[in-house]
Amino acid sequence: MATRTVIPFGPQHPVLPEPVHLDLVVEGEKVVQAIPSIGFVHRGLEKLVEKKDFTEYVFVAERICGICSFIHGMTYCHGVEQIMGIEVPRRAQYLRVIWSELSRIHSHLLWLGLAADSFGFENLFMASWRIREHVLNIIEATTGNRVIFSSCRVGGVARDIDDATLKDIVARLEGLATDLRNLGEVFLDDTTVKHRTVGVGVLTKEHARELGAVGPTLRGSGVASDMRQLKYAAYGDLAFEPLVEDGCDCHARCKVRVREIGQSIDLIRQAAARIPAGEIAVKVKGTPSGEFFARTEQPRGEVVYYLRANGTRNLDRLRVRTPTFANLPPLVKMLENCDLADVPVIVLTIDPCISCTER
Amino acid sequence: MIEPQPTEVVTPQRLMELVAVLHADGHRLVQIGATSLADGGVELNYSFDKDGRFSNLRLPLAAGNLTAPSITGVYFCAFAYENEIHDLFGVDVKGNKLDFKGNFYRIAEKTPFLRKPADPQASPPAS
């Protein structure tokens, strides 16, 4: 048997924006096994639910992640609303869809940039983030913030978007079509990108299912599963089918995200065309009592919020299962027998969010 | 409309039987989560999904005997959840196929989510 060496990867590494650790067992340049460990910056935000009023905790939930913050807040609100039987106004449900999809677009563009950076394509990294700025500008114009929107509330949303602004958002997103098409072509067709992604980090359909993969990691392995199919918020009113690729490698996961940007723009277009007039929030009366598992689709995949309430203004328990946590076992599988040089690219293709995982 | 989320309270033996049945029927393991109870016990929730239909198995563990069987023999991906439950709640999961022995979460405090029985904030068992 060849000599085995353990190489520590992280918690600080140029390709990792946040700390996670992998012990890579290697034989020469081949990774034989990858052993993850987390908890370097665990914040215990779930415990804060015992101290914060249930209507105020949404601000904490939004800070679990700096990228998909809106969807964290929305999932928390959805859970409380289900327990309390609150009927959220339809206009608010549509606005939640619009902000969720804007979050997905900017998250996927952020990931595309980081992926390009991981395989040394700096120009592509900058091109991705340049387009992302336009999306952040839309978010800032509609919420007053660029990342932490603070727009979701238990019972609805805090802000409205008028019809003229909605039309302008759709026009601005459609105006990005050429840039996005050019960007997508490079990611999907460029020889150097394909050299680093095609056939790398393979996760078969069977393994993806068996190991509990979620989001683009799962759909890149040919499984048509997306929590938006549960029809939360206003997704039930919109034409939507999960986008699936069956390449099962880094390139397929990249392709899913490139295509999902276009899908998100289409969902915003549909929502802007169908959004009904009316109230954007209802007054919350009483306190929650009961339990619920709220599930939504973040840019990285399914997030699960378990809420248990006892009739007081503080919840008993909040447990958040983030998509990155679910994608750790599939990541371990993807890294088996890969080249050491491919580890950063493979790690990035699950779009790891350690901020979420260390909630 | 509230999504139906059936929950069945199980014994360790029944848990293993049902997990095998659910796996054979093509259910995906969504998550395993723990909740600290008022009496010092811990409640484990095993959540599954098939075609968007959600179901849950609940295993209550009594204070002083925080031991649960591992389901990694059926769902290998459970190793992450079982190590998390061990590190944050102090539950001893027997037979975990990828046991980090307390080193999955690199945290300074041991079992930070396990409440003491006298903690007035501790959860009562779910009705």
Q: Check residue B112 and give its pLDDT.
A: 86
Please give the Cα distance from A21 to A33 (Å, whole number). Answer: 13
- A295–B76 C-beta distance less than 8 A: no
Are B106 and A212 in contact (CB < 8 Å)? no
Q: What average pLDDT is seen over chain B? A: 89
Q: Which residues of B touch A229 (CB under 8 A)?
A: 52
Q: Region A214-224: what's the mean pLDDT?
A: 96
In this structure, the number of other CB atoms found within 10 A of the CB of residue A55 comes to: 16
Taking residues A210-233, what's their average pLDDT?
94
Cα–chain center distance at A251 = 18
Confirm whether pTM is higher than 0.80.
yes
Q: CB within 8 A of A153, min separation 6: which ones?
A: A55, A58, A77, A281
Look at A355 and A314; give whichever has higher pLDDT.
A314
Q: Where are the alpha helices (DSSP H) in chain A?
A: 57-62, 69-84, 90-118, 122-143, 163-175, 177-189, 191-197, 205-210, 215-219, 250-274, 323-326, 328-335, 343-349, 354-357
Task: Determine the pLDDT at residue A354.
Answer: 75
Question: Does residue B79 lie in a domain region?
Answer: yes
Q: Give the CA distances from residue A14 to residues A107, A120, A343, in Å, rounded to whole numbers and listed in that order.
A: 20, 12, 12
For residue B1, what pLDDT is reported? 56
Which domain covers residue B49, as residue numbers? Answer: 7-94
Q: State the total domains in chain B.
A: 1
Which ipTM score applies to this complex? 0.89
Query: Is residue B61 in a domain?
Result: yes
Among chain B, residues having any CB pair with chain A shorter than 8 Å are 2-3, 5, 28-31, 33-36, 45, 47, 52, 54, 56, 75-77, 79-80, 84, 87, 100, 103-107, 112-113, 121, 123-124, 126
B35 and A293 within 8 Å at the Cβ level: the answer is: no
Contact A326 B31 (CB under 8 A): yes
Q: What average pLDDT does range A257-284 have in this prediction?
A: 96
Q: Does B103 reside within a domain?
A: no
Select from A85, A210, A304 the Cβ nearest to the Cβ of B30. A304
pLDDT in tens, A248-259: 999 999 999 999
Write down the mean pLDDT value for chain A.
92
Q: What are A309's strand-pairing partners?
A: A290, A315
Q: Is 70 exceeded by the pLDDT of residue A244?
A: yes
Give a yes or no: residue B27 inside a domain: yes
**In contact, A127 and A111? CB cutoff 8 Å:** no
Q: What is the pLDDT of residues A71-105, one digit of tens each?
A: 999 999 999 999 999 999 999 999 999 999 999 99
For residue A37, pLDDT over 90 is answered with: no
Q: Would B39 be classed as within a structural domain?
A: yes
Bridge-partner residues for B53, per DSSP?
Answer: B50
Q: Is residue B118 part of a domain?
A: no
Task: Tell me the chain A residues in contact with residue B30 when contact means C-beta distances shorter than 8 Å.
Answer: 212, 295, 302, 304, 321
Interface residue A274 vs chain B (CB under 8 A): no
CATH number at residue B73: 3.30.460.80
Q: The domain A41-357 belongs to what CATH superfamily?
A: Cytochrome-c3 Hydrogenase, chain B (1.10.645.10)
In 10 A of CB A113, how many CB atoms?
Answer: 22
Whether residues B30 and A302 touch (CB distance < 8 A) is answered with yes
